[in-house]
Structure 1
């Protein structure tokens, strides 16, 4: 009985891990090493080219022509542990990948004596890259024995974003940006069977995204204080999926391939509203805070004339951060710290087996970074540590003490380079 209970726990953990891997995080957030080093508290700051994604009104603050590029390197570690009647099973897995994050070009102009800025940017709105590998027992429906598998996902939901911002008064700016959604993700899983390397079973899934929406923002800037607001308008994200399965020497099935398509599906993205404020107690210190309202519980999935609730949770997010500037004889050295909540669209599983808490899974991120500003060039580096425990349950199960825990730890390194002309 104890062994059966442990098997049940392991199966539950595996299902939870697989679900979490496939649960793409549609919590769209701006980018840039400076902003992310401050925890993402940038709606009320928005004074570089990444304002395109945070608050386009901030582009009106730029006085020089500017080009920027941002890259991301992610490391994610997953661990799980289950115990049942004194028996323990543990599992660990890690994956890493680089990804493009942002590139932009901004041209500041004048209209009368007021600032006007035009910009175009490429943004990785949702990064879906991932890698994993492992070994498993036979499928159960093919007598092929144990097998090794590798999984890799490349790509994400990207956008081409033209933007405009205008200074309407000495202290008030307004901006707007249009997001043209492109690209997608390609997922591949390769299964090779241990006893006979000639037996393979490989799967490929290609997902393409398309759509369009607007962002709008406003910014009030005073000498020591600024406040901003941002709105991402709702839209339907179109999704087209192609699946293929290639196999060789499978018992009963032999060698061959199959494929299927799903085109015309749509996911309704909700209206997202954010507010931010920043205060400068001194010329060298900036303190900032943001709050975003993300009602994903209103989202629906539609296909072939049928719409269903997407079953997601709202992901309202709080972000706080600071920046302090050290000044040298030939350069400026800013340092940054930040924190943000990280609520997820899916539910967790915590508490006890008899009365589990299946409310929303939520994690957090601690951030930091530094920069080097030398004349026309600005270099920034940010680090984000994220933590999420979607499963943490214990208590009596089948008359034995049992527990189950899963944890994700993410390490993001983001680097930015900005050039002024």
Structure 2
């Protein structure tokens, strides 16, 4: 077990009024589980084309990509989308180049799987002076932080003693949801415009539980945990210019100031009594400036049955900073907690194709393929290596009458040279860094259902709801 002075130091660091040192330790540990931070849309159709949909946006998932696309809807539509994914994070070959760290890291990590709804919407269009207008209400899981892994270590306590085998179980659950109301307008046969108001609501919990075994006996050591909450409002605005052969799309997600709250917890044996105790820091809200995102896309129709599409999105994550006046967090970046941050502005790229075939007179069968590049805002503070996710997608759909079912598969991978902080109490009571290779791999399966409704019946129901019989 780590020495009592080391435990007291760690407890002070973690719990002293929510101070900067506490968040630094937690951020370094939790960053390994913050595996995806790309702002994008939802739905299996777009996923099948690599996630490129800004210039297309012509179904019930339109508002998650570009609210201008709502102006293309002719009938009321409801949608339900979900996804299942398996994510793994492997850390291999880690060693201390200075030779001062007696911890041996054998870091084969076990990923985990999750299945959940990701998008629900209802869109209601109508004609206005011969042009389309539509409103949509939707829910979207815009960032998903669910992750779990187990890691094994071998540590030699300071001053000698029997070697310890340490097992660390990392668990993170939750994410950020977005609730939206939007309006899309067909301004002319070629020009569409739209906007949405979005409420961002996030909650995620992180924990790192450790136990050690010396001479074959397993002993509980500690649990480090953090509870996070996130609230904020923003506006999205979009445009689409369309023609027979080319579509151009533009979407702007406005910046906003969110309220971000976290609590730190430390559970460990009391140094004096040996009893298991839990202490936690103050629950303090902070202002977090969330940056804007600008996206643009192009869709090409070289043939009536072929769509080629590509998107670019730019987010200056370097501007994601805390803004509390008079605190240690002022001006510090959310990702690395530095004033002179190394967190970059990232530009994502998605591209794909859709080929439509027909089975009989009433059944449409689209086939899709795509590729994407998603740089992440996470940059290793020691090696300077950025996490860049590359991947490919395939998908298909079946549309028969008013019902459309889409499915897609996405596989991605990221490898970088990274550092690892040894700051957990079981690891020999040391604070040191080791270096090795981090490999993130993810497989996702998307499924969407879109149902077009009878327009007259929906309009009668809306009239009854707001005007009465």
Q: Which residue of 2 aligns with 1:91?
A: 107
CA distance in structure 2 between the aligned counterparts of 1:190 and 1:404, rounded to whole angstroms: 23
Tell whether the 8 Å contact from 2:318 to 2:345 is kept in structure 1 after alignment.
Answer: yes
- Determine helix, strand or coil for the equivalent of 1:187: strand
Corresponding residue number in structure 2 for 1:31: 42
Cross-structure match for 2:359: 328
Q: How far did residue 106 of structure 1 move?
A: 0.7
CA distance in 2, matches of 1:304, 1:382: 46
Alignment of 1:390 onto 2:405: no
Partners of 1:181 and 1:211 within 8 A in 2: yes
Equivalent residue for 1:314, pick from 325, 334, 345: 345
Residues 129-138 or 229-238, more deviating? 129-138
Tell me by how many angstroms 1:420 deviates.
1.2
Unmatched runs of 5 consecutive residues or more in structure 1: 1-14, 350-355, 394-401
Alignment deviations for residues 57-108 of structure 1 (CA, whole Å, 9 cap, x no partner): 00111111111111121212233432889xx975322222223211111111
**What corresponds to 1:175 in structure 2?**
194
Q: How does 1:65-76 map to 2 (within 5 A)?
A: 65-76=76-87
Bigger drift between 219-228 and 93-102 goes to 93-102
Deviation at residue 365 of structure 1 after TM alignment: 1.7
Q: In the alignment, which of 175, 180, 185 is matched to residue 161 of structure 1? A: 180
CA distance in 2, matches of 1:385, 1:24: 14
Q: Counterpart of 2:63 in 1: which secondary structure?
A: helix
Q: Secondary structure at the match of 1:316?
A: strand
Answering whether residue 450 of structure 2 is matched by residue 418 of structure 1, we say yes
What is the match of residue 397 of structure 1?
none
Within 2, Cα distance between the matches of 1:188 and 1:358? 26
Structure 1, 308-317 or 119-128: larger mean CA deviation: 308-317
Q: Is it true that 1:106 corresponds to 2:117 in the alignment?
A: no
Q: How far apart, in 1, do the equivalents of 2:71 and 2:144 lie?
A: 28
Aligned partners of 2:30 and 2:229: how far apart in 1?
Answer: 20
SS at match of 2:56: coil
| TM-score, normalised by the number of residues in structure 2 | 0.75
- Residue of 108, 127, 133 corresponding to 2:144: 127
Q: 1:139 to 1:36 in 2, by over 3 A?
A: farther
Instruction: Tell me how far apart the structure 2 counterparts of residues 199 and 78 of structure 1 sit (CA, whole Å).
Output: 24
In the TM superposition, what whole-angstrom CA distance separates every residue of 1:329-386 from its partner, at most 9, and x where no partner exists? 142111111111111213369xxxxxx9735442312111111112121111111111
Deviations 1:19-62 (A, max 9, x none): 64244543211111111111111111000121111100001111
Which residue, out of 215, 220, 230, partners 2:236? 215
CA drift of 1:289 comes to 1.1
User: 1:404: Cα distance to partner?
Assistant: 3.8
Question: Could you tell me how far 1:284 is from its partner in structure 2?
Answer: 0.9
In structure 2, which of residues 254, 262, 267 is the aligned counterpart of residue 233 of structure 1? 254
For the Cα contact (< 8 Å) 1:79–1:90, is it kept in 2?
no
Counterpart residue number, 1:377: 403
Where 1:183 maps in the other structure, the secondary structure is: strand
Post-superposition shift, 1:202? Answer: 3.4
Task: Indicate how the Cα distance of structure 1 residues 346 and 191 shifts in structure 2: closer, same or farther if over 3 A, else same.
Answer: closer
Instruction: Return closer, same or farther for 1:377/1:305 CA change in 2, 3 Å cut-off.
Output: farther
Structure 1 residue 226: deviation in Å? 1.0
- CA distance, structure 2, for counterparts of residue 294 and residue 418 of structure 1: 30
Change (3 A) 1:251 1:369: farther
Residue equivalent to 1:271: 292
TM-score, structure 1 length as denominator?
A: 0.84
- For 2:72 and 2:435, the matched residues in 1 are separated by 54
| 1:358 aligns with one of 384, 392, 396 | 384
Greater share of residues in strand: 1
* Cα pair distance change 1:297/1:140, threshold 3 Å: same
Partner of 1:9: none
